[in-house]
């Protein structure tokens, strides 16, 4: 079974379910729900994305495809901005309202809050995990379908089960999906750190 494109993935879902009456809207829905779940549970090196810009205010909008932070730093001054809880940042701000070079940031809604707030424009770079790009007729493949079609297939099948009342097979699909995700994350870690002589740091 070849699973290299969006169309082939949808055909495989129908074939596995032995259903030829599923609409394209239903099949696309199963895939979308799988993509949302995979964006939450997969942390792979190919999700790592760089966003560079200038910050000049207390709040900094998250990229639209952001699902997790890796590193936020200020390249011109070789400064790394440390992630803290929002309550911690509030305590810092309550203790002192100084402005200057940001040293800390916290998540609040769809923004980052910086402390201290910058008192002038500063170059910043955010390295983050981006969501799995959605497949579509206009974008029939992506990096994840290329390297882990099994994760896509079993993820979509899991989300088809409640609608189609295929409860008897959902445990099997769930186990296969979990194995695919675990293997994917492990292979990413191995590729990033093997042979470097460096110990993996917990972020």
Quick one: which of 9, 2, 13 has its CA closest to 163?
13
Residue 78 has pLDDT above 90, yes or no: no
Question: What pLDDT, on the 0 to 100 scale, is given for residue 43?
Answer: 96
CA-based radius of gyration for the chain? 21
Give the pLDDT band (50/70/90) at residue 181: very high
3-class DSSP assignment, residue 126: strand
- Residues 28 and 124: their CA atoms lie apart, in Å, by 37
Distance of CA 117 to the CA centre of its chain: 27
Would you say residue 61 has pLDDT above 80? yes
Domain boundaries, the chain: 6-42+132-190, 46-130
DSSP 15-43: HHHT-S---HHHHHHHHHHHHHHHHHH--
């Amino acid at each position: 079974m070849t699973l290299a494109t969006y169309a082939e993935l949808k055909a495989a879902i129908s074939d596995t379910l032995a259903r030829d009456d599923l609409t394209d809207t239903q099949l696309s829905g199963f895939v979308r729900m799988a993509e949302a779940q995979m964006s939450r549970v997969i942390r792979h090196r190919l999700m790592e994305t760089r966003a560079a810009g200038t910050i000049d205010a207390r709040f900094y909008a998250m990229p639209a495809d952001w699902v997790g932070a890796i590193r936020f730093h200020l390249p011109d001054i070789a400064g790394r901005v440390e992630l803290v809880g929002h309550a911690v940042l509030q305590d810092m701000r309550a203790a002192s309202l100084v402005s200057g070079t940001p040293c800390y940031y916290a998540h609040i809604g769809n923004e980052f809050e910086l402390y201290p707030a910058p008192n002038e424009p500063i170059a910043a770079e955010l390295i983050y995990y981006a969501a799995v790009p959605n497949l579509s007729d206009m974008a029939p493949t992506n990096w994840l379908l290329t390297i882990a079609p099994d994760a896509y297939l079993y993820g979509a099948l899991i989300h088809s089960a409640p609608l189609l009342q295929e409860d008897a097979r959902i445990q099997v699909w769930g186990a296969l999906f979990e194995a695919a995700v675990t293997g994917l994350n492990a292979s990413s870690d191995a590729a990033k750190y093997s042979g470097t002589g460096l110990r993996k740091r917990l972020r």
